[in-house]
Structure 1
Amino acid sequence: MNSLQFPRHGDKENSPFFEEYLVKLLEERDSLGLTSMVHEIDALMITVDPGHSVKYIAELCLMTAYHYLVTLESESHWTHILRIGLESPDILVREVKDPNLRGIFRSLNEIYPVGAKKPNSRYMGEIIRVDDLHDVVKLQQEREFRFFSQDEIRKLELPGNLAVSKPSPYTHNIVAYLERAADEMRVYALGVSRIDSEVQLAYEAAKNMQDKLRIGDLLLPIDHLATRVYSQNREVAILEYLSWSSYYFWGAYNIFNQNSSTNVTKSAHGLAESKSPAKVFTANNTPYFVNHLEQLPSPTETFVRNYGPRLHHLAIAVRDGEREGFENIEFVVNAIAAQGQGFLLDVIGSREEGLKQIFSNASEHSSLIIEYVQRFGDFQGFFTRDNVAMLTEAAGREEGVRLAAS
């Protein structure tokens, strides 16, 4: 494989360090065979505080194409598996049973003023499918990447058939590997499996509402995952993720009027985003401590200072087309908004520009925003410059971002 064969998009200038090591790391990854052995994102892991998983699953099952599959119960957690099918990633929603339970993932929240208010509410990271778990881990360890031991995985109550990285110093996310052939079922070796009656009822109610609203057939799988990091960590966070995964650097755009850049990575295997979502990294162009001198907007850096570096939103694709005189994205948003779901702005973009987008309010259960995106025709991008500027500005008005650190 050649991970450097893809065209570059965007106008963001990277440092010589980034450009040099982008080539070196991807050439090494290809030559070691890692790119060929590491495949799509198999699942996303999200943890919520006690008492929040049922409502969060109901929210996801109304707003997305996901279905409740099963619950895995371990000593300190319930892990609920949501699935669309094997051609798109699962979502693992973990609920902490005891509000006093402490651990490494909680500690990543507690040093941030807004993150600390929901100490267990955080996106943890991705599970990536690999051909040979032993060989991939061995190669990554030789490259100085670190993993939790099997005893640590057991104590953290993560599936025992995963190899799990230590949290990134740049994104605070983990990467896990799952050995699975492409045609095999996904299995998570954890706890006792059962159907949770409360979750099942909430799921059925959400899907019945989807049917009533006539939006279920318009919602497609996850399109991209957007992480926000400190300005100084933009380049290293991207290079680190490319080293863990089989993604390549698609490109980056400067969003001057929001003092930030949006950076995209995609699967080098040429997989559709519905099967392996793009990973987007957003960062300020300047650090927070020069804002009082430059008087520049700083929604991204403010988010990171208040929540910590973490996933900001899940983008859900909406099927192209119209329903009852509305573009599908507007039909979906109008229907969901009528059920009480808030949005940070109106639908923006146009058919002429190639896509329309919108951000929901942040979930009170996971702190994650849902983005809806509808592409028209053969448009292949993830945003237009005007769209992403408006989305970034709107996200800066979200309540948690506006709360200044005291």
Structure 2
Amino acid sequence: MTGSLDFARQGDKQNSVFFEEYLIRLLEERDQVGLTDLIAEIDSLMLTVDPGHSIDYVAELALMTPYHYLVTLESESHWTHVLRIDMNSPDILVREVKDPATRGIFRSLNEVYPIGARKPNCRYMGEILRVTNLHEVVRLQSEREFRFFSQDDVRKLELPGNIALTKPSPYTHNIVGYLERPLDQLRVYALGISSIRADVQEVYEAAKALQDKLAIAELLQPCDHLATRVYSQNREVAILEYLSLSSYYYWGSYDIKDQNSSTNVTKSVHFGNEFRSPAKVFTANNTPYFVNHLEQLPSPTENFVRNYGPRLHHMAFAVRDGETDGQTNIDYVVDAIQQQGKEFLLEVIGSQEEGLKQIFSSASEHSSLIIEYVQRFGDFQGFFTKQNVAELTRAAGVEEELLELQAAARVRDIEL
């Protein structure tokens, strides 16, 4: 039996008595009933974009990450493009809504937030986890009061029929899917009509040719972590909920005081290499928005959630350690991509002496997601430095404030 509490705790953030008690009880029970061993790695990442954006987003990911276009699954109301690196890293499923008038539960999660509503179908949906016995996992999770979409619901949502899907989390608004797959079998998604679309293949090949021309293809590595932002009051329950749904453990939390937030990390108990199953990070303000006028503290994380809703904020990709043409690889990659017109929110931060360098791109106009690059040097085992996280959080907050102002200006223009 895997021991989910056998890992050393990191961080300096103080949690509540409630969190510490239920962390132990939930993980002990998860191990005892067998869920930890039944649930393996993250097999796929799911996201949806608005009509007309999926092909450009495939091209963007093909340039900025190691992902390759595999196939398109066409259903009545959606195209789903499957992107893959290999079978040792998660796929990305990029869904595009065909009709802008299409409505559904995922769109409704966007529409109550001022910036989220501007791109009503654009949101990260959640992860699909590989399991060894789907029926048993669903039975055990249902007994623990997690709710699942019915098979008829899954069909109407036009999601793969061979996946069991939870209802959206009240804390993160994400869903979790379970896919039964032996390790020696390929990932297959039971959805729609499969084809290789010429228009998607064309932009994919152009992006990969550009990657090769820029000499960055061999420097880009798989996803390192996925970072979700939640309301301040939901930090602990969001973490505990995800641990209950997955086979992850609590790595620890760091208090980022000068940004009035914390960074909270969970990792797979089965795979020490994040390329196989990315770490899941949860970021939350330390104080709720309604005390800002009293405390006069920065609030970039809470502002993001109030504007976009609880959701994934960024996907982080590793950059191979080393140097190219006299630059650290991360600097070389960023310079090359910037020359193609992609903007970044700040300069590369960190240093070889600190153990790592990091940077945020600007948010994608297609998915609203930020790409983070991270290069770790030598045998550095740390996940981040507190100073780096503070600078990244501040930079993202500045961009999000600008987007909020732009959205408000557009509303005023329409009213006039």
Q: Distance in 2 between matches of 1:381 and 1:92?
A: 30
Between the aligned partners of 2:272 and 2:149, the Cα distance in structure 1 is 29
Partner of 1:76: 77
The AA in structure 2 aligned to 1:325 is G
Match in the other structure for 1:345:
346
The equivalent of 2:64 in structure 1 is: 63
Tell me, yes or no, if the aligned pair for 1:306 and 1:400 is still in contact at 8 Å: no
**Could you tell me which residue of structure 1 aligns to residue 146 of structure 2?**
145
Local SS of the residue matching 1:170? coil
Please show how residues 31-70 of structure 1 align to structure 2 within 5 Å.
31-70=32-71
Shift of 1:269: 1.0
Q: CA deviation at 1:400?
A: 5.6
3-state DSSP of counterpart to 1:366 = coil
The residue type equivalent to 1:118 in the other structure is K
- Whether contact under 8 Å (1:114, 1:400) holds in the other structure is no
Matches within 5 A, 1:241-280: 241-280=242-281
* CA–CA separation in structure 1 for the residues paired with 2:115 and 2:218: 36
1:361 partner SS: coil
Aligned with 1:396: secondary structure? Answer: helix
Amino acid at match of 1:2: G
> Secondary structure, in 3 states, of the residue corresponding to 2:190?
coil
CA deviation string 1:289-328 (max 9, x = no partner): 0001110000000000000000000000000000000000
Alignment correspondent of 1:364: 365
Please list every run of 5 or more consecutive structure 2 residues that lacks an aligned counterpart in the other structure.
409-416
Q: Which runs of 4+ in 1 moved over 4 A?
A: none
Q: Determine helix, strand or coil for the equivalent of 1:217.
A: coil
TM-score normalised to the size of structure 2? Answer: 0.97
Q: How does 1:285-324 map to 2 (within 5 A)?
A: 285-324=286-325
- Residue matched to 1:10: 11
Q: Structure 1 residues 328, 311: closer, same or farther in 2, change over 3 A?
A: same
Which AA in structure 2 matches 1:324?
D
Decide whether the 8 Å contact of 2:304 with 2:400 is kept in 1: no
Which one-letter code corresponds to 1:376 in the other structure? F
- Distance, in Å, in 1 between the alignment partners of 2:235 and 2:400 is 24
Matches within 5 A, 1:17-32: 17-32=18-33
The range that moved more, 70-79 or 390-399, is 390-399
- Give the superposition deviation at 1:398: 1.2
Counterpart of 1:174 in structure 2 is: 175
CA RMSD of aligned residues (A): 0.9
The answer for the alignment partner of 2:213 in structure 1 is 212
Q: Describe the SS at the equivalent of 2:293.
A: helix
Q: 1:164 to 1:353 in 2, by over 3 A?
A: same
Q: C-alpha deviations, 1:114-143, integer Å up to 9, x for none?
A: 000000000000000000000000000001
Q: Distance in 1 between matches of 2:401 and 2:341?
A: 19
CA shift digits 1:260-289 (9 cap, x unpaired) = 000000001133100000000000000000
In the TM superposition, what is the alpha-carbon distance from 1:209 to its structure 2 partner? 0.3
Identity %: 75
In 2 relative to 1, CA 329–201 (structure 1 residues): closer, same or farther, beyond 3 Å? same
Superposed displacement of residue 399, structure 1: 3.8
Shift of 1:402: 5.3
Report the AA paired with residue 268 of structure 1.
Answer: V
The answer to whether the Cα contact below 8 Å between 1:303 and 1:401 also exists between their aligned partners in 2 is no
Kept after mapping to 2: 8 A contact 1:306/1:401: no
Count of aligned pairs between the two proteins: 406
TM-score (norm 1): 0.99
Which residue of the partner structure matches residue 202 of structure 1?
Answer: 203
Name the SS of the counterpart of 1:272 in structure 2: coil
The aligned counterpart of 2:412 is none
Cα 1:313–1:380 change in 2 (3 A) is same
Which residue does the alignment assign to 2:106? 105
SS at match of 2:398: coil
* Distance apart, 1:397 and its partner CA: 0.9
Conservation of the 8 A alpha-carbon contact between 1:86 and 1:185: yes
Q: Contact 1:42 / 1:90 at 8 angstroms: preserved in 2?
A: yes
Aligned partner letter, 1:333: V
Q: Give the conservation status (yes or no) of the 8 Å contact 2:259–2:300.
A: yes
Q: Deviations over 1:330-370 (max 9, x none)?
A: 00000000000000000000011010000000000000000
1:336 paired residue number: 337
Distance in 2 between residues matched to 1:27 and 1:172, nearest whole Å: 26
Distance in 2 (alpha carbons) for counterparts of 1:160 and 1:380: 39
* Alpha-carbon distance, 1:74 to partner: 0.2
CA distance in structure 1 between the partners assigned to 2:176 and 2:354 by the alignment: 35
Return the letter of the residue paired with 1:391. L
Rounded to whole Å, the distance in 2 between the matches of 1:375 and 1:306 is: 32
Q: 1:191 Cα shift?
A: 0.1
